[in-house]
Structure 1
Amino acid sequence: MTTAPDTSARAAASSPGPAVRALPAVVDPASWRDRAARHAERAEAFSAGFRARRLAGRTHEVDDFLFTYYPHKPSHLRRWHPGAGAVLADGAGDERAGWRWYAADDSAGRPPGVRVDASAYLAARGSTASFVERILGRTAARPGRFSCFGLHEWAMVYRVGPGEQRHERLPLRLGSTATDAVVEAHRLSCTHIDAFRFFTPEAVPRNALAPTRETQPDLEQPGCLHAGMDVYKWATKLGPLVPGELLLDAFELARDIRSLDMRASPYDVSGLGLEAVRIEEPSGKARYAAEQRAFAERSNVLRARILDELAHARRAAAAGL
């Protein structure tokens, strides 16, 4: 059963969206095959390092994160989808005709085409789509907060004992005692459950908030680095309703955010070729907040694009597509 859209969340997301697109939209074979090929090339470039390290039995604390933390395999990232309402002319003989959530369509005449079955997808996963719609809309509607300075990573190693550090291969840049002192000299204000849940027991009561899974839609805000990375996660949750180009844009944002996340962390990442953002110093705080603001802007652009694609998918489903 398709869950009704969260119209209040979408309305709160801000400005009017793009013009309503025609349904169905027939895409000629040359165009969609070119888009699919370019998508595959871009996706393979994103995952090349991870795939090579995996074969060699090596890891990278920064670059592997998106493939180990989020359950979206490189092979899935490589798959291009056109989004809802697009009929891929002469696509019935393509491998994607056998993919889940695809259906044959003769809107383009003969030979038949293929399209994403938005109606079937939303009927089966309407509750997920509505949750994604709600959390993206509400997050985008809130002002960003830019005073946390990435201290969530520091709270994850606060007063840890030997062998308890999350990234054991990376040394602490300041050492344990000085790292603890940085935490104690600041007010923790993490709003994100999936960062907060990794706080050490000693760090938990130092946080101004106590995020939970239930309060996540009420606390997420665009200044949060982890909320920005999660735009990629929410895009994957919508499967073929999200065009491949948009999915990879979200992946690229998450990749860039992860770099800042670790550069501003208590870990010494110089061995990975990264320069530390020293958030314990005023200049480091200013640099962190500036990058954080830029990521907030990028993430809200992507939130709006995903919300528009979801609204388009609902229109396609209503039209029986």
Structure 2
Amino acid sequence: MVETGTTLTEAVWRERQRAHEARVAVWTDPHQARRSLGEKHPVFDFLFDYYSFRPSWLKRWHPGVGVTLEGAGAREFLRWPGYRESVDGGVTVEAADFPERRRETLVWLREMLTGTRDRPAFFGCFGLHEWAMVYRQSAEEVRHNAWPLRFPPEELARIVEGQPVCCSHYDAFRFFTEPARALNKLQPTRPETARFEQRGCLHANMDLYKWAFKFAPFTPSELVADCFALAREIREIDMRASPYDLRALGFEPVRIETAEGRAEYERHQRGFAARGEPLRERLLAVCGQLLAGSIGPRG
């Protein structure tokens, strides 16, 4: 929900700030504790390392574009880029202050999100992208080589070769091993990302988090956190369906090498696609508000 023109009293926005920080701490505190001990997590580290949004940034609450914060405490937000004092004496982030240099990216994102929404969803990839990332690779080259694979190399290769590989997501495809790329039905490229993206893809729905935080503080932090929550659940299924054996961490495999496992994966995939739809619409609303406001007069 985009709250254009909303004014929040200090009591109200402080409560929202506290609620956001408490919600996010459940995710960020364990990650930071592991980091302090030098420990790695093959599932959840991805959400902070690959996406490169620091835990402290995720914890930071922002009301979003067009919301005015009242009270003396609101002045603390003026230290962050994008905030200004409103004519009524509050503090706000205005669409007119969205950087012009980022407008082209915003236009691209709106087109990409709209295309992803409108394009038919595909539910037949069955998570083979993680398998393609270790296909015919030496043990030393495997990304999470601290964790065992569920099959020896030749059996793993047989499983990959025995199913159609049809990954539409460039940022997954680019990590395929060289021999695995030739097996993929699609050959997405970076410039063609928007043309291939579709809402049945786990990574397309996981990336809603990336698109949400990229435009902070103009994106409401509640929307960023909602996208992170979905991304975290998707990441878990993504790795449970992978060739890695993560049972020692409590992750039972989704055995996509079997018909039952593929059906289970598809059920999760369809559920994530449905949950991603309202988040995508909320992001599109933010894009629309920023594009409409950024072409107006600047004060």
1:240 alignment partner, SS class: coil
Residue identity opposite 1:27 in structure 2: L
Contact 1:92 / 1:104 at 8 angstroms: preserved in 2?
A: no
Contact 2:48 / 2:54 at 8 angstroms: preserved in 1?
A: yes
Give how far 1:316 is off.
4.3
Partner in structure 1 of residue 178 of structure 2: 201
Residue identity opposite 1:288 in structure 2: Y
State the TM-score, normalized to the length of structure 2: 0.95
Partner in structure 1 of residue 67 of structure 2: 86
**Cα-to-partner distance string for 1:60-116 (whole Å, 9 max, x where unaligned):** 000111001011001110111111111111256532121111001132xxxx21001
| Residue from 149, 167, 186 that aligns with 2:163 | 186
Partner in structure 2 of residue 98 of structure 1: 79
Matched length: 298
1:244 pairs with 2:221: yes
Partner in structure 2 of residue 156 of structure 1: 133
Give how far 1:319 is off.
7.0
| Residue from 303, 307, 312 that aligns with 2:280 | 303
Partner in structure 2 of residue 120 of structure 1: 97
State the TM-score, normalized to the length of structure 1: 0.89
Deviates more, 1:155-164 or 1:284-293: 155-164
**Cα-to-partner distance string for 1:122-156 (whole Å, 9 max, x where unaligned):** 42421121122111111111121000000000001
1:103 alignment partner, SS class: strand
Give how far 1:259 is off.
0.3
Contact 2:97 / 2:298 at 8 angstroms: preserved in 1?
A: no
Partner in structure 2 of residue 15 of structure 1: none
Instruction: Give the unaligned 5+ runs of structure 1.
Output: 1-17
2:191 alignment partner, SS class: coil
Partner in structure 2 of residue 269 of structure 1: 246
Question: Could you tell me how far apart the structure 1 residues matched to 2:36 and 2:250 are?
Answer: 22
Partner in structure 2 of residue 3 of structure 1: none
Q: What percent identity do the matched residue pairs reach?
A: 44
Contact 2:68 / 2:91 at 8 angstroms: preserved in 1?
A: yes
1:84 alignment partner, SS class: coil
Question: Could you tell me how far apart the structure 1 residues matched to 2:224 and 2:233 are?
Answer: 14
| Residue from 51, 61, 82 that aligns with 1:70 | 51
Give how far 1:174 is off.
1.6
Question: Could you tell me how far apart the structure 2 residues matched to 1:127 and 1:95 are?
Answer: 30
Query: 1:141-180 residue pairs with structure 2 within 5 A?
Result: 141-180=118-157
Question: Could you tell me how far apart the structure 2 residues matched to 1:312 and 1:35 are?
Answer: 22
1:253 pairs with 2:234: no
Q: How much is the aligned-residue C-alpha RMSD, in angstroms?
A: 1.6
Residue identity opposite 2:68 in structure 1: V
1:39 pairs with 2:20: yes
Contact 1:236 / 1:247 at 8 angstroms: preserved in 2?
A: yes
**Cα-to-partner distance string for 1:270-312 (whole Å, 9 max, x where unaligned):** 0111010000100000000000000011112110011112223
Contact 1:232 / 1:247 at 8 angstroms: preserved in 2?
A: yes
Question: Could you tell me how far apart the structure 2 residues matched to 1:91 and 1:197 are?
Answer: 49
Partner in structure 2 of residue 5 of structure 1: none
1:287 alignment partner, SS class: helix
Residue identity opposite 1:36 in structure 2: Q
Residue identity opposite 1:63 in structure 2: F
1:24 alignment partner, SS class: coil
Give how far 1:48 is off.
1.1
Question: Could you tell me how far apart the structure 2 residues matched to 1:93 and 1:269 are?
Answer: 45
Question: Could you tell me how far apart the structure 1 residues matched to 2:298 and 2:263 are?
Answer: 51
**Cα-to-partner distance string for 1:24-45 (whole Å, 9 max, x where unaligned):** 3211111111111111111121
Structure 2 vs 1, CA of residues 91 and 293 (structure 1 numbering), >3 Å: closer, same or farther?
A: farther
1:58 pairs with 2:39: yes
Question: Could you tell me how far apart the structure 1 residues matched to 2:267 and 2:74 are?
Answer: 49
Structure 2 vs 1, CA of residues 280 and 62 (structure 1 numbering), >3 Å: closer, same or farther?
A: same
Structure 2 vs 1, CA of residues 48 and 60 (structure 1 numbering), >3 Å: closer, same or farther?
A: same
Question: Could you tell me how far apart the structure 2 residues matched to 1:149 and 1:260 are?
Answer: 11
